[in-house]
Amino acid sequence: MTKEYKTIVEISGPLIFVEKTEPVGFNELVEIRTGDEIKRGQVLDTSDEIVVVQVFEGTGGLSKASAVKFTGDVIKMPLSPGIIGRVLSGSGRPRDGGPPIVPEVERDIIGAAINPASREKPRAFIQTGISTIDGTNTLVRGQKLPIFSGSGLPHNDVALQIARQAKTLEGAESFAVVFCAMGITNEEAQHFMADFERTGALERAVIFLNLADDPAVERILTPRLGLTTAEYLAFDLDMHVLIIYTDMTNYCESLRQMGAAREEVPGRRGYPGYMYTDLAIQYERAGIIRGKKGSITQFPILTMPGDDITHPIPDLSGYITEGQLIVSRELHRKGIYPPIDIRPSLSRLMNSGIGAGHTREDHRAVSDQLYAYYAEGCDLRGLAAIVGKEALSERDKLILEFADLFERRFVNQGRDEDRTIFETLQIGWDLLANLPEAMLTRVDDKYIQKYHPKHAGSAKKE
């Protein structure tokens, strides 16, 4: 099995083609040796005649004289508690000058699917301290909630603020962080690292770094290694894990390159037809398993090419993840931070994490009402620009004003401002109180009686 072959017949982009081998298994780990250097790859296609291998660390430096060894095993990630605090490369080798990970266990990085019947329904509210998340797009433990952004927008700051402030209401149990960088710049990576260091998060973090100048194919490996690590921390070591990976757009570009190298029939806009399934295999590795203490909550970050949400990368992601937070260029230009546009944003698991027993009974109603008038207000801006504010009806003027206030008071907050959910709901009520009560059609009267600033005083006396 450990025989070496020197029968490379073709090297093409990230692929090598090897012939005259003994039977080789699909997905097997491959080692390619050139002199002292060993690169790793994986079998993509295997037959009697030829074996196709994708090389993760790039094919630069390989030649027909390189020796190929098929290991007879799939790729595995070495894991032990000692991995916490380590900085690794995008292919899992130490990048912090430390020793290799001495494994207690080794896990197949392909990751079998969690049996849907073994999943626990996620419903523990996570307070991020950010109103546009907690109030209107609530995150729960075990959710996968990506940030869709554009280049030059402060998505990293938002992600970091979430990582810093996230806690459940029961207490400040802290998350372990797994951070996977895929093709981001050194400067961006430093920004993350400095923040982790400043807040002490680094001590309970595992970092995988594949930077812009590292091989692109390696990026196919990075999230798989990160997620395998996250599963170990969550389901072996009982930790609550927050995994941030950025930038999924770079990951998808690598997939596209691989597809092109294999001369596959491309799907939409040149991306492989299996990209949905491939992304799902990553994103679905979030959640909670019944009877286990830990959990995996995912924060993938992706930049939408040309700010286009219908581009296949955000589109397919949105079809898999449990919602999305949209960072808006328009709000950013207005100087609003975090520039999260709630209208196209969504948290699909919000409902199970809010309400009596989780946050507060009026949460859903407040959120729905805020949404309805903010969306209407945004539409009215277009109208006001054409016909002038004066031509609007009284009702419309109120809503227009509401939308402006909403952005300034509810959306806008400080980079270190950590609002409790009750503060967030209070801001919501204060804004709604500017509208006549009869306009609050989404809110049950009993909540108006109890929480509307005009009545709240009397309710408290009871």
Partner 1 sequence: MEVGKVKRVAGPVVQAVGLKASMYDLVLVGEEGLMSEVIGISGNKHVIQVYEDTSGVKPGEPVKETGAPLVAQLGPGILTSIYDGIQRPLTILAEKSGDFISRGLFVDGIDHKKKWEFKPIVKKGDVVKPGQAIGEVQEQLLIKHKIMVPPRMKGGAIKEIYSGNFNVDETVAVLEDGTKITMVQKWPVRQARPVTRKMPPTIPLRTGQRVIDGFFSLAKGGTAAIPGGFGTGKTVMQQTLSKWADVDAVIYVGCGERGNEMADLLHEFPELVDPRTNRPLMERSIVYANTSNMPVAAREASIYTGMTTAEYYRDMGYDCMMTADSTSRWAEAMRELASRLEEMPGEEGYPAYLGARLADFYERAGRAEVLNGGFGSVSVVGAVSPPGGDFTEPVTQNTLRMVKVFWALDSRLTQRRHFPSINWLDSYSLYDKDLEPWFTENVNADWNKNKKRAMAILQENAELEEIVMLVGSDALPEDQQMTLEVARMIINFWLAQSAFHPVDASCPYKKQFDLLQSILAYRDYSFEALKKGIPVDIIKNTPSKDALAKIRLVEDYEPDLKRVMAQMDSEFKAMK
CB 227 within 8 A of CB 111: yes
Nearer to ligand ADP, 145 or 242 (CB): 145
The span from the first CA to the last CA of the chain, in angstroms, equals 79
Q: Is 284 in the site for partner 1 (CB under 8 A)?
A: yes
Nearer to ligand ADP, 145 or 180 (CB): 145
Encoded one letter per residue, x for contact with ligand ADP by CB under 6 A and - for no contact, window 299-338 reads: ----------------------------------------
Output DSSP code: residue 271. -
Number of residues counted as binding partner 1 (CB under 8 A): 84
Alpha carbon distance 4, 1 (integer Å): 9
Alpha carbon distance 145, 322 (integer Å): 6
Residue 37 touches which of ligand ADP, partner 1, none (Cβ within 5-8 Å per kind):
none
Options 112, 152, 416, 461; binder of partner 1; rule CB under 8 A: 112
Q: Which residues contact 372 (CB under 8 A, 6 or more apart)?
A: 442
SS3 state at 344: strand
Of the candidates 285, 244, 290, the residue with the CA atom closest to the CA atom of residue 128: 244
Strand order in the sheet with 323-327: 87-89, 205-211, 176-184, 240-246, 295-303, 147-149, 323-327, 340-347
Nearer to partner 1, 193 or 233 (CB): 233
The Cβ of residue 461 has, within 10 Å, a number of other Cβ atoms equal to 5
The CA radius of gyration of the chain, in Å to the nearest whole number, is 25
Residues 5-44 contacting partner 1, CB under 8 A: 23-28, 44
Strand order in the sheet with 28-34: 4-5, 67-74, 28-34
CB under 8 A: which stretch of 56-64, 287-295, 417-425, 451-459 binds partner 1? 287-295
Alpha carbon distance 116, 111 (integer Å): 14
Nearer to partner 1, 218 or 231 (CB): 231
CB under 8 A: which stretch of 78-86, 93-101, 167-175, 388-396 binds partner 1? 388-396
Residue 14 touches which of partner 1, ligand ADP, none (Cβ within 5-8 Å per kind):
none
Rounded to the nearest whole angstrom, what is the least distance from the CB of residue 319 to partner 1 in the complex?
A: 5
Rounded to the nearest whole angstrom, what is the least distance from the CB of residue 426 to partner 1 in the complex?
A: 21
Alpha carbon distance 93, 377 (integer Å): 52
CA dist 282 → 9, 177, 231, 248 (Å): 33, 17, 12, 11
Q: Is 348 in the site for ligand ADP (CB under 6 A)?
A: yes
Nearer to ligand ADP, 92 or 323 (CB): 323
Nearer to partner 1, 96 or 404 (CB): 404
CB under 8 A: which stretch of 77-85, 159-167, 246-254, 258-266 binds partner 1? 258-266
Alpha carbon distance 285, 298 (integer Å): 9
CB under 6 A: which stretch of 191-199, 288-296, 309-317, 344-352 binds ligand ADP? 344-352
Residue 441 touches which of partner 1, ligand ADP, none (Cβ within 5-8 Å per kind):
partner 1
The Cβ of residue 204 has, within 10 Å, a number of other Cβ atoms equal to 17
Token pair belonging to 207: 């970092």
Q: Is 442 in the site for ligand ADP (CB under 6 A)?
A: no
Options 330, 444, 449, 458; binder of partner 1; rule CB under 8 A: 444
CB under 6 A: which stretch of 4-12, 16-24, 44-52, 346-354 binds ligand ADP? 346-354
- Residue listed under structure tokens 């294999």: 262
Nearer to partner 1, 188 or 376 (CB): 376
CB under 6 A: which stretch of 158-166, 198-206, 345-353, 443-451 binds ligand ADP? 345-353
Residue nearest to ligand ADP (CB): 348
Residues 375-404 contacting ligand ADP, CB under 6 A: none
CA dist 341 → 244, 378, 390, 407 (Å): 21, 11, 27, 9
Nearer to ligand ADP, 348 or 360 (CB): 348
Length of the chain: 462
SS3 state at 94: strand
Encoded one letter per residue, x for contact with partner 1 by CB under 8 A and - for no contact, window 54-83 reads: --------------------x---------
CB 236 within 8 A of CB 87: no
CA dist 388 → 293, 371, 380, 385 (Å): 58, 24, 10, 6
- How many Cα atoms are found within 13 Å in the side-chain-facing hemisphere of 363? 25
Q: Is 435 in the site for partner 1 (CB under 8 A)?
A: no
Q: Is 123 in the site for ligand ADP (CB under 6 A)?
A: no
CB under 8 A: which stretch of 107-115, 236-244, 295-303, 330-338 binds partner 1? 107-115
Nearer to ligand ADP, 351 or 434 (CB): 351
Nearer to partner 1, 93 or 395 (CB): 395
Q: Which residues bind ligand ADP (CB under 6 A)?
A: 346, 348, 351
